[in-house]
Amino acid sequence: MFPWGDNRRFNSYSAYFQREFGSRVQKISIDAGFSCPNRDGTISTGGCTFCRNDAFNPSYCNPGKSVRQQIEEGIEFHQRRYRRAKSYLAYFQAFSNTYKPIDELEKLYREALSIDGVIGLVIGTRPDCINEEILEILKHVSSRTDKACLVPIILELGVESVYDSTLLRVNRGHDFACAKRAIELVHSYGFHCGGHFIFGLPGETRDMMLNAADIISELPLTTVKFHQLQIFKDTKMADEYLANPSDFHLFTLEDYIEFVIDFIERLNPNIVIERFAGEVPPRYLVSKPWRNLRYDQVLTLIEKRLEERNTYQGKKF
């Protein structure tokens, strides 16, 4: 048994759900037609150089459909795929899902929570799209009177890197201090907070990426998602990569497995790891996929290597 209470060698997302909800819970992705201040001219019109949101959207996600229709189709999809799931979290995924007027936000969140089987929300957004007014609305929504207890709400913030030089290079539009303030603010309201990070962004060395584990470990994060850098077609980063491929170090599968294990050895064991790597259809990629492996196959390889190295999350924390 490891500190998180089971025999897996990392603090897993599935066990986190079991602890929080007592059973399997499935996230249902939604594209509710949000935009982004880094695209609409508020900060920039170019967006982050790596961004292509549609690469991650499930087939049932379409902003032309209502939130209800997307959730109902998503539940039907996951009931075929994961028959054990009886409860669902509505996952506002595409773009910055707190970036609308307050009254519109409340209407969308309440629509999602009105659907049978939906027990809570996961809201993906940018650190600079979080403030006290938004969190007050979420606090109000989470306290809805037709539920016997508070509705769980998880905020997922795209941090991407702890280094300002990297964030500037990828045209992120905010610095790390902004991300840190947002995480601390979300935590102060009692909401669970997740952070998204990308390994392999241009300009970062292996040591820089490993040292980020110490910085992330100090943040009041509940969960983290890690993705290896993948270069998507029709992005500014794809143009940069094709012009100067030597500026980029793209992980091989074997190198990434060793790196990510070195990383989590230094990671706070209280932080739940939702994902170790990203997976998108190969048709979106300029960079080469890892032998067309699905994420669950990559995870199996990581866990096998953890066993071989006789190590675990937080061993060197």
For the segment 227-257, what is each residue's pLDDT rounded down to a tens digit? 999 999 999 999 999 999 888 889 999 999 9
> Tell me, what's the pLDDT at 175?
96
227 CB neighbour count, 10 Å cutoff:
19
The pair phi, psi for residue 155, each rounded to 5°, is -100, 130
3-class SS at 260?
Answer: helix
User: Hey, CA dihedral for 12, 317, 190, 159, is it positive or negative?
Assistant: negative
Q: What is the pTM of this model?
A: 0.93
Percent of the chain residues topping a pLDDT of 90: 74
Give the pLDDT confidence of 257-272 residue by residue, as tens digits.
999 999 999 999 999 9
Match 């006290």 to its residue by tokens: 132
Taking alpha carbons only, the member of 70, 50, 45 closest to residue 59 is: 70
3-class SS at 186?
Answer: helix
Give the pLDDT confidence of 82-128 residue by residue, as tens digits.
666 778 999 999 899 999 999 999 999 999 999 999 999 999 999 99
> Tell me, what's the pLDDT at 149?
60
Give the pLDDT confidence of 5-44 residue by residue, as tens digits.
999 999 999 999 888 888 888 899 999 999 999 989 999 8
Provide the strand spans (E) within 200-298. 223-228, 272-275
> Tell me, what's the pLDDT at 193?
97
Q: Does domain 13-309 have CATH number 3.90.1600?
A: no
Q: Vertex 152, ends 149 and 157: CA angle to 5°?
A: 160
CA 35 – CA 89 distance, rounded (Å): 22
Give the pLDDT confidence of 120-176 residue by residue, as tens digits.
999 999 999 999 999 999 999 988 655 556 788 999 999 999 999 999 999 999 999
CA 225 – CA 267 distance, rounded (Å): 13
Would you say 199 and 252 are in contact if contact means Cβ atoms under 8 Å apart?
A: no
3-class SS at 41?
Answer: coil
CA 168 – CA 165 distance, rounded (Å): 5
Would you say 206 and 262 are in contact if contact means Cβ atoms under 8 Å apart?
A: no
Would you say 34 and 95 are in contact if contact means Cβ atoms under 8 Å apart?
A: yes
> Tell me, what's the pLDDT at 7?
94
